[in-house]
Amino acid sequence: AYLDYQVGCTEEGKINAIVATLYYQQGAYLDFGDMGGLDVLQMSLDGVYNCENWQLSGFECKTDTPGNTFCRGPVFLPGTFLIESVLDHVAHQVGREAEEVMSLNLYKKGDVSLAGQTLADSNARATFDLCVSNADFGDRAKEVEDFNAKNALVKRGLAICPSKYMMNPCTGFPSLVSVQEDASVLIQHTGCEIGQGLNTKAVQTAALELGVACDAIKCAATSSRIAKTGNVTGGSTTSEAICASTVLACQEIARRMAPVKQANPDAKWADLVSKCYSQGIDLAARAVYDGSQRQPGVLPDQQDNGPSPYVQYGCAAVEVQVDVLTGETQVLRVDLVQDNGISLNTAVDVGQIQGSFIMGLGYMLTEEFVWDRTGKRTGSAGSNVSNGTWEYKPMSSLDIPIEFNVTLLPKSVNSHGVLGSKSVGEPPLILSAGVVSAVRKAVQAFRRQQGGGKEKEFCAISAPATVEKVQLATGLNLQDLTLVAED
């Protein structure tokens, strides 16, 4: 995506108006039908910043490249990157730190977003302030400044990136819960466990509702033979949806068992199940959470605040070290705060946060498609040059942050989610946009050192900020590398 923009702001950096034209590279054909990506980009383009006056137009651009498809955090990541670049540019123009400008423009509770979402429970400020505190941002910014003053060809940058992510409804996933005669419990649901901890959360939810140990419960492989009419596993809400349907199924089983339990209040779980079986009570129940069911504190309250049931917030502080000779970037430290409401499983959620952020780092730093326009490199015009890991560089074990700290926002309860939780799979991805802001600061530090007027220009690095782009952005030339003998 490409953004052509004009910004009206105060001397302090408070944004009053943005006039922008958005160009979205769709490729040779539309994927996902009419959904495209432009509408979602418009929903995410304001980030966490309250600008009361927008004039926004956009174009989906048909190009001679393969169609772009949705992946993790579809188009929310480029949308966040674009608005963060705008905030960096504003800060540069008014001569203030980007973090000051960010803080001045953050959404407050009750504000209405560009997409028409009332931010009734906005935690943009809470995640931002906690991230600044956890990262010890003020002292470390001074340390970065001192480091840059002492090192001519290696520079560091420290930046903040806050975010909001508008979630989809978590409906339409059937769950069949069966209590076996041996007192074990089998869950057969329509979600796909793909490493996001869906089964773990479903088991925990059933254990909570039935009062059974987790080791007595298991999830079967997903199959349309048992649980039909499922929804697509995606949008970060499948775990929530399965948990909601599992809650309803377990509650139905508990309702059927209630008379037996009332007659045998001291009976253990296995004895209770045995008595139910002896009385011919059906201990299998299928349920689908469709959004109409209401249970405060358990199921979403379905309050209508706009196009999304709720909004997920986060903030990350990213410190990088840039070798200006090569453009190589090393991520030194990340301090990330995520608003997960009441986490359904802290270990699972922190793992999702880490993995999602690292995936975003690849998008922001190294994973670039290169096309052979003339055919000189491959012998075939239009061929994808970056068709293997020699040219296409996803993050690997040596590319991850040296220090990576994750904090879940405390005292956050989401009444619009399942059991007070918030989804986790995709929202942390977009916080990786902060790495480009950190690289930009490192490059600007080198430009200030070199002088010559280049330091007055805004460093407009596009993503991915590959080694080539970063090195060229420094403005380093051969004369800078000349060694002069001293008498």
The residue among 137, 268, 134 whose CA lies nearest residue 211 is: 268
What is the CB neighbour count within 10 angstroms for residue 189? 29
Q: What does the block give as tokens for 213?
A: 């140990």
b/e code 35-72 from CB counts within 10 Å (16+ = b): ebbbebbbbbbbbbbbbeeeebebebeeeeeeebeeeb
- Distance between CA atoms of 108 and 123, rounded to whole angstroms? 8
- Distance between CA atoms of 417 and 399, rounded to whole angstroms? 34
Report the run of H or E that residue 360 belongs to, with start and end.
helix 346-365
What is the CB neighbour count within 10 angstroms for residue 25? 15
Q: How many angstroms separate the Cα of 271 from the Cα of each of 119, 256, 275? A: 49, 15, 6
The residue among 44, 296, 67, 288 whose CA lies nearest residue 169 is: 288
Q: How many angstroms separate the Cα of 57 from the Cα of each of 54, 135, 236, 288, 361? A: 10, 37, 29, 40, 29
The two most distant CA atoms of the chain are separated, in Å, by: 103
Rg of the chain over CA atoms, in angstroms?
26
Enumerate the active-site residues: 426
Q: How many angstroms separate the Cα of 375 from the Cα of each of 371, 372, 478? A: 9, 5, 31
- Distance between CA atoms of 147 and 155, rounded to whole angstroms? 7
Residue 188, SS3 per DSSP? strand
CA dihedral 362, 364, 367, 371 (to 10 degrees): 170
Taking the mean position of all CA atoms in its chain, how far away is CA 381?
Answer: 36
In this structure, are residues 6 and 20 in contact, taking their beta carbons and an 8 Å threshold?
Answer: yes
The residue among 122, 101, 103, 125 whose CA lies nearest residue 113 is: 122
Q: What is the DSSP letter of 52?
A: S
